[in-house]
A = this chain, B = another copy of it.
Amino acid sequence: MRTEPLFGKAAVVGVGLIGGSLGMAIRSRSLAGEVIGIGRSPEALQAALDHGAVDRVSLSYGDLSGCDLVIVAVPVGSTAGVLRQMSPHLTPGVLVTDVGSTKVRIVEESRSVLPQGAVFIGGHPMAGSEKEGVAGADPYLFENAFYVITPGPETPEDSLRKLIGMVEGIGAKPVLMDPVDHDLSVAAVSHLPHLVAATLVNCLFDFPGSGKMSLLAAGGFRDTTRIAAGNPGMWRDIFMTNREFILKALSAFSKRLDEFREAVESGDDLKIYHLLDRARTLKAGMPARTRGYLPALWEIVVTVPDRPGIIGLMAGILGNAGINISDIEILRVREGEGGTIRLAFATGEEQDRAAALLNESGIPARKRGN
């Protein structure tokens, strides 16, 4: 017996990386009877069809008629305009959601723009990729990812339940939040770090001799500024739509920065120690042992000679025993001599067996402490 899909006719407006991945995920789990891709670029729509992201495509908002789910997956700066344009074509009872990185403004705008009978609930899937466009779309992008949903007091329970159903259906973990809490949170954990990373790079190059300086930039600088390589247009939009909360986060940051500066200025070693120690302790309490949004990993560290085939040998030993390597990272290598490799597994049992098997094979492996 076939169960009824959650939605009859669903539409994805904007078929890029996120929209395309959502279309694929909804189709592969049969969460809707059909998925229509709507966009402005015939080429992008054709690509979405070719990649199996949608069942059919249209250049016209007129095709939204009869949809009971509409996902707006356009850049956050364009969402309000798209909502306004599609508004006349919506069918009463439709559930409209978005995927933008900020929520307060779009939730407010949806109230003034959407017709009576349309239900808007903001959404923010915490997933991404190094790729861009529908060519990088992936039906499993949301697997184990947190997916923030921001219902309001007026949100009908039935609509909320259906959106939660969709989120769980595509393998993500729904997190219900107030739009204000969401926007302050992403300001503090995402937008402020981005602003700070860009500022670290910009100020480094204010110094004469920055060329030789950057020679000394080690892993610490690279890690700290990695996100500064992000798409400036996308991030400008995010900064523009979340200004209020970014300024709030920036103000908290500046207060703490001043405190640190004063401690350095006055040579207050106790205070410096306290600030560093507090950060380390708080950081240690955060979920650091996850990669992307996967569950915590069980790790072993292996010391191996650096010769062709050694990773294959090691992986072969584990593969033959049916042990899956969830993550692998070369911590240090030295030409022609050897290196240290970190392996991670999904369970403690696999971790135990892997360490034992490798040690038996003469490859020194030790479990990494918690």
Contact = CB atoms under 8 A, between A and B. Distances in A.
A229 interface: yes
A293 interface: yes
Contacts of A252: 203, 206-207
A106 to B, nearest CB: 17
Nearest to A248: B207
A87 B203 CA distance: 41
Copies of the protein in its oligomer: 2
A144 B273 CA distance: 32
Contact of A330 (B192, B221, B322, B327): B327
A86 interface: no
27 contacts: A140-B334, A144-B335, A175-B216, A185-B209, A186-B216, A190-B218, A190-B221, A193-B225, A196-B200, A198-B260, A199-B279, A203-B255, A228-B276, A243-B265, A246-B264, A247-B265, A250-B261, A254-B261, A257-B257, A308-B324, A309-B318, A311-B311, A311-B328, A312-B318, A313-B316, A328-B329, A328-B330
* Interchain residue pairs A-B with the least CB separation, the first 10: A309-B319, A312-B315, A198-B279, A232-B276, A312-B316, A140-B334, A143-B334, A185-B213, A193-B224, A189-B217
Interface of A: 126, 129-130, 138, 140, 143-144, 146, 148, 171, 175, 177, 181-182, 184-186, 188-190, 192-207, 209-210, 212-230, 232-233, 235-236, 239-240, 243, 246-247, 249-250, 252-257, 260-261, 264-265, 267, 269, 272-273, 275-280, 282-284, 286-288, 291-294, 306-335, 337-338, 346
